[in-house]
Structure 1
Amino acid sequence: MSRRGILAAAALGSAATLLGAGVARADQPGEYHPAPDGPAPDDGVSVLALVTQSEVNNEPTYYEVNGARTSFRYEPTFYSRMELWHQRWRQWTPNHWTAPHQIYCYGVYVNKPGMHGEGRAFDLARLLITNRNNGTMFLGFNGRYDQWSTWSTDAMITERIRYWGTLASLHYHFRHVISYLDNSEHHNHVHIDNAISGGGDSSFATSSSTQTLFVQATCRYIWGFDTGIDGEFGPQTQSHSAAVLSRLGSDGSITTQSRWQVFCRGSALQAWAMRP
């Protein structure tokens, strides 16, 4: 089968039918995630235009609920964006983080309103990575805040730094990335969609509480500032994010796309340097 050319042959069906065909539904949690600036326009995406894939960038996908190797259905442009993200993510992570990977997800296409209903959203739970030095697998990303938030201090700090490092890489590529700071529905996964950024990389808007929460958490947990985390882009957040840019050899505000990308990429690299 061609990885790119497979069309979903089945029309909309029940959850049992979809699971029987090896395509998981995100029955839990949070299938509907409207974009922060309002719902995306109706693009007329047909379920028959979705492609079925069992991997992202040649790394297999699994259903977080039962751990089974699982295929998911994607709108083609969104799938390409996921692959580009993963390619860059691999380039930015430490050299001993190598394939094979295991990508755990709660779902992509779901027969509901919103980006999941268009196959343009991904609920990322965990990324297991092979350590080149010893051949064992470890958690390079753990979206299960519901679990690691109660771990011992050192283990929790490691997971938190790697969490925000991976979110930095996701924010570089996608305008809409929902974390555990947004609401309790996202305590066990990160929601990603391209409702706003479409086929391009992301940019920053001070009106986005979701993006601002990311900036504040990154300044605090990766760069060591005492940044308050409230989702409001005020003077302190402006000052601390500008200081991060300065450390990264840039200047000014993250409100331009080029500086936003410097902030995201640099924060990802800093996180993995801290917890390789």
Structure 2
Amino acid sequence: MAHTVESVIARRRLLGAGAGIGAASLLAGCGLDRLGGGERDGDRAYCVPRSATQRRAGIGEAELAYEENDRAQPFNIDADFARQLDGWLEFFDARAGLGAPDRIRTYGAWIDGSGSCDSWHHSGRALDFARLVRGDAEIVSCRNDLWREAADLPTQRRRYWALAASLHRHFSYVVTYLYNDAHRNHIHVDNGASGAELARFSTRSRTQLQGVQAVCSYLYGLDVPITGRWDDATRAATGRVLADIGVGGSLTDDGAWTALMGAATGAAAP
């Protein structure tokens, strides 16, 4: 393996130093999921040895590559979580209308917990997305640290939130740049809260509420303050989007979350 787990940790230490955050804090940034994201009941993350994970060269038809140098390489990941990601990518390819990626650039999946066991990365049940690429063309960038002041910000942001919506549909815990600065260069996703099922909405989930508020704002053009709370503005905006996509009702209704996030996945297509 050209780039080891230690190189991933070193990369995060470097990013943490640049942002004024120590390496331990940055790893905790991807380990906010101790209890299903710290936002709902759920199993605690646990440590597994590398030997308990599957060595994966790709997700679906897309190869995995290390973000730092775009070099294709396998990553260790929980086998069941990897199969869920295969299903996610099939959905994204069919629904997003942005083109199917042949490469997913990432900062990694399994990380040796060394006894801390406070992140789903330590269980092999988390992946950090940096970019989706096809050939030499970038389909979606999760590098908000690079494009947040770019001339094409609206396009970059719409594609980012379409990708985030597709992940929110499949997994209950998806962490974006809205959560903290540690996630400005990637989207973190894990199945610690949702397990083998599609995501279910919780009015207590800050990450889900930030996600749906951004989707309403940036993909549907509604004026929704991004508060991370289940407030009146969010109830009204999500109700309007659900009506527009032919579902109706409230986001708290069964199936409403997956329907809204599924529709939002295609809302950034040209």
**So what's the TM-score if we normalise by structure 2?**
0.85
Q: Which runs of 5+ in 2 are unaligned?
A: 13-25
* Bigger relative CO (Cα 8 Å, ≥ 6 apart): 2
Tell me if 1:156 matches 2:138: no
Note the C-alpha offset of 1:202.
0.3
**Across the two proteins, how many residue pairs are aligned to each other?**
245
Please tell me the root mean square deviation across aligned C-alpha atoms, in Å: 1.9
In structure 2, the CA distance between the partners of 1:55 and 1:23, relative to structure 1 (3 Å rule), is farther
Contact 1:123 1:192 in 2 (8 A): yes
Bigger mean CA deviation after superposition, 80-89 or 255-264: 255-264
Where 2:91 maps in the other structure, the secondary structure is: helix
The residue identity in structure 1 corresponding to 2:128 is: D
The residue identity in structure 2 corresponding to 1:125 is: A
Contact 1:125 1:188 in 2 (8 A): yes
Distance across 1 between alignment mates of 2:230 and 2:197: 24
Where 2:261 maps in the other structure, the secondary structure is: helix
Residue of 92, 95, 101 corresponding to 1:92: 95
Where 2:154 maps in the other structure, the secondary structure is: helix
Distance across 2 between alignment mates of 1:24 and 1:156: 33
Aligned residue for 1:8?
none
Aligned residue for 1:10?
none
Contact 2:49 2:112 in 1 (8 A): no
Distance across 2 between alignment mates of 1:58 and 1:262: 25
Percent of matched pairs sharing the same residue:
29
* Shift >6 Å, 4+ stretches: 21-24
Contact 1:206 1:212 in 2 (8 A): yes
The C-alpha deviation readout for 1:116-173, integer Å capped at 9, x for no partner, is 111111000000135xxxxxx4221100000100111xx1110000000010000000
Where 1:127 maps in the other structure, the secondary structure is: strand
Q: Which runs of 5+ in 1 are unaligned?
A: 1-18, 131-136
The C-alpha deviation readout for 1:229-270, integer Å capped at 9, x for no partner, is 111110110010010000000111112341111100111111
In structure 2, the CA distance between the partners of 1:24 and 1:63, relative to structure 1 (3 Å rule), is farther
TM alignment of 1:177-188, pairs within 5 A: 177-188=174-185
The residue identity in structure 1 corresponding to 2:158 is: I
Aligned residue for 1:133?
none
Distance across 2 between alignment mates of 1:151 and 1:108: 29
Aligned residue for 1:62?
65
Distance across 2 between alignment mates of 1:21 and 1:216: 37
Q: Highest CA radius of gyration, 1 or 2?
A: 1
